[in-house]
Chains A and B, each alone.
Chain A
Amino acid sequence: MKEHFLYAKGIHKRFGAVQALKGVDFEVACGEVVGLVGDNGAGKSTLMKILSGALLPDQGEIYIQGEKAHISSPQDARRYGIEMVYQDLALAENLDVPGNIFLGREVQYRLKGLGTRVLNRKYMERKTKELLSSLRIQIPSLRQRVRTMSGGQRQAVAIARTLLAQAKLVIMDEPTAALGVAEVEKVLDLIRRLKEHGVAVVFITHRLPHIFAVCDRIVVLRSGERVGERKTSETTMEEITQLIVGSKTDAVSGTVQDQ
């Protein structure tokens, strides 16, 4: 058994009358790709928001590399090496690729006494090229504004950001939801690249074939509870579908339909 990078224990979260998480345990090993599945409203996004510091749990503990972690903001999570790629991606669409990858951590020339921080664009462009090629992504022109790029390319930019931050765990909440077939392939490839770089990934999607294509392990949530966990190599889409819906009768196809 590999060492756990992250171990969350007994996570509870309630929104008013809705008990979104009812004491969920969740763990991710270093460099492991975990698929997180469950019906709409099962609590997947809530759990991930807690791990990435966007929400605070009502109860429960999080351990990072064996030590108790205090995550109360996205900045805290980032300090532990946890990066969340938001579904809306949250890029500055008017900026180019290096502009987005380095946003908030621009590389500067050291100009003592000038009182201003001057961008080292050359360096940022070179580093951007390295990051993209290590992810085996091709973007025709780095000077292109993100606004003009496809959904898959934007995912690539968002993921390159996490590489630059030397993230140890990247959380992707439905990154393939709005993408076409070819673009989905690229995002799945990006997940494989992250794994190659030793980065753990939690990947949420409704489309089980995508999960089976890249994940080492699958965790199933239902109504705020963890109802199952399987190694991908030891299960089938039918079994996972049954876990998701909680009965055998509804397990017709390998995909769970959106409501």
Chain B
Amino acid sequence: MSTGREGLAFLKRLVVERTATGVLLVLLAIILVTGIVNPRFFSGYNLQTLSRQVVIFGLLSIGETFVIVTGGIDLSLGSLTALLNVLAAWFMTHGFGVAGAVLATLAIAACFGMWHGFFVTKLKVPAFIITLGTFAAAKGLAAVITRGWPISGLPAGFSNLWEGMVAKVIPIPVVLFLLVALLAHFVLGYTVWGQHLYAVGGNLEAARRFGIRINRVRMAAYVVSALSAGVVALLIAARLNQGNPTVGTFYEMYAIAGVVIGGASLFGGEGSVIGGILGASIISVLWNALVLLRVSSYWHEVTVGAIIVVAVTVDVLRRLRGQTVP
């Protein structure tokens, strides 16, 4: 009896509070079940595939975390990934060189972030509206630039960014991801700006009264978010060896789902880089499991949709009851 009750209380804590440990346990459970159902899950090849997938969703979740912590949202990441992916390929095939193309792509990403930040802070346009605008426009722009066709013929060697290995076993994108994650974790958790992101998300008016430059703080969050799409766009260019306007579909949903599963609140003020990465990992593992089980990719979207609804509902309920993560 009592263990049953304790178990129930434990489960409730997992679902309602979604501490990092709780999310990690859920992730391990999903991994275990998938591995038992299909032992191929643990094959070296699949783990490499999976880890690269985690990199993509993880990077976007990290970027999205910065915005969601401020109480905003960025719906543009998937489409932005497509546009920046196409632009990166265009730059590389038009004499910019790899370094020039990388810089130009990231610079354009930053400009999109500032554009979003400008509308949100100066014009008081809701974040979901202005980023929804980019969601629609960027995807279309990507197709216009390529006339619907992929841009291929990227410089030889660029694909190393995706295929290459460090010490023969760890994919380069995974190493890159770990560095970015470490940096983001440090910035959000240990710097003044990180603290101000939380403050702005917790009580914008208080933050303003206390002399925090709320517009600058929030603007930078949108820049970080857009930059994450820039990095992902480059990685995908390396993976496909082309710029393709069809990539990135629904990626913003996966990123947001990861962040919310990881314990962030869409009301702002809550969330962490580790949580976002764990959430993104859950999405990636589920995706991988569905592929291994040969489930149609349409079901992937249904699954992620259901997960978002559950995670956001929990977030809302938690808010209503005033329960918080300790």
Contact = CB atoms under 8 A, between A and B. Distances in A.
Given A104-B212, A119-B190, A99 B203 contact: no
Contacts of B112: none
Contacts of B190: 118-119
Interface stretch (B4-12, B40-48, B192-200): B192-200
Contact of B207 (A92, A105, A117): A92
Interface string A79-108: 000000010001111110001000111101
A235 interface: no
A106 B192 contact: yes
Interface string A35-49: 000000000000000
Contacts of B212: 103-104
Interface in A116-149: 116-119, 145, 147-148
Contacts of B199: 92, 95, 99, 103
B191 A94 contact: no
A92 B206 contact: yes
B191 A104 contact: no
A23 interface: no
Given A106-B192, A116-B191, A94 B209 contact: no
A59 interface: no
Contact of A94 (B202, B205, B210, B322): B202
A122 B306 CA distance: 42
Interface in B50-102: none
Nearest to B267: A94
Chain B interface main SS type: helix
B209 A74 contact: yes
A108 B192 contact: yes
A75 interface: yes
A95 B198 contact: yes
B324 A117 contact: no
B290 interface: no
Nearest to A103: B210
Interface string B295-326: 00000000000000000000000000010100
B248 interface: no
Contacts of A90: 203, 205-206, 209
Query: Chain B: interface residue count, which band?
Result: 20 to 34
Nearest to A78: B211
Contacts of A93: 202-203, 269
A118 B191 contact: yes
Contacts of A92: 198-199, 202-203, 206-207, 269
B113 interface: no
Contacts of A103: 195, 199, 206-207, 210, 212
A103 B205 CA distance: 12
A104 B195 CA distance: 9
A148 B326 CA distance: 9
Nearest to B325: A145
Contacts of B262: none
B26 interface: no
A106 B195 contact: yes
Most chain-A CB neighbours within 10 Å: which of B187, B203, B207?
Answer: B203
A74 B269 CA distance: 25
Nearest to A102: B195
A147 B321 CA distance: 12
A95 B202 contact: yes
B252 interface: no
Contacts of A108: 192
B211 A75 contact: yes
A145 B322 CA distance: 12
B17 to A, nearest CB: 13
B245 to A, nearest CB: 36
B230 interface: no
A91 B209 CA distance: 10
Contacts of A94: 198, 201-203, 268-270, 324
Nearest to B270: A94
Residue picked from B192, B205, B212, B269, most chain A C-beta under 10 Å: B192
Contacts of A148: 324
B193 A116 contact: yes
Interface in B184-230: 187, 190-195, 198-199, 201-203, 205-207, 209-212
Interface string A191-228: 00000000000000000000000000000000000000
A245 to B, nearest CB: 35
Contacts of B202: 92-95
10 contacts: A86-B209, A90-B209, A92-B207, A93-B269, A94-B201, A94-B268, A103-B199, A103-B207, A105-B210, A119-B191
Interface of B: 187, 190-195, 198-199, 201-203, 205-207, 209-212, 268-270, 322, 324
Interface of A: 74-75, 86, 90-95, 99, 103-106, 108, 116-119, 145, 147-148
8 residue pairs, one from A and one from B, having the closest CB atoms: A94-B269, A94-B202, A104-B210, A92-B202, A90-B206, A117-B192, A104-B211, A92-B203
